[in-house]
Structure 1
Amino acid sequence: MTKKSPVARLRSERGVTTAEYAVVTAAGCGFASVLIKLLTSDFGQSLLKSLFELVMKVIGI
């Protein structure tokens, strides 16, 4: 088994970073779409309302 030099190893893994960014971006978009769908539903609206009222009680307003 031959060892690759550090430069050769970096050159062979150059596209890995781009692929990782693509996967993270796709996961972020998927999570955002689920979150938007949840928060625009009736359940999400009531959840936000109750959370807001709880925070206002804790603050004392």
Structure 2
Amino acid sequence: MTAQRHDHQTGRGPVTRDDSGITTAEYAVGTAAGAGLAGVLYQLVTGGFGDQMLRQMFNHVLGMLGIG
């Protein structure tokens, strides 16, 4: 996206600025958030809650298929 503004200090016409992409700070925050979410999901799946949840989902799918 290109933003245009008038440069009042120099008296020049419109100045274009390219806003595409993300800055390094935004990239770092996004990476940290993704890593944190992955850690939480890993703890849920490998803990007792995840084991129980996976067993319940597996049994539910087998029940829907008429196997279990």
Q: Structure 1-normalised TM-score?
A: 0.67
- Percent identical across equivalent pairs? 44
Partner of 1:34: 40
Task: Judging by fraction of residues, say which structure has more strand.
Answer: 2
Instruction: With a CA cutoff of 8 Å and minimum separation of 6, indicate the structure with the bigger relative contact order.
Output: 2
Larger C-alpha radius of gyration, 1 or 2?
2
Aligned pairs, number? 55
Partner of 2:22: 17
Partner of 2:54: 48
Q: Structure 2-normalised TM-score?
A: 0.62
RMSD of Structure 2 on Structure 1 (CA): 2.3
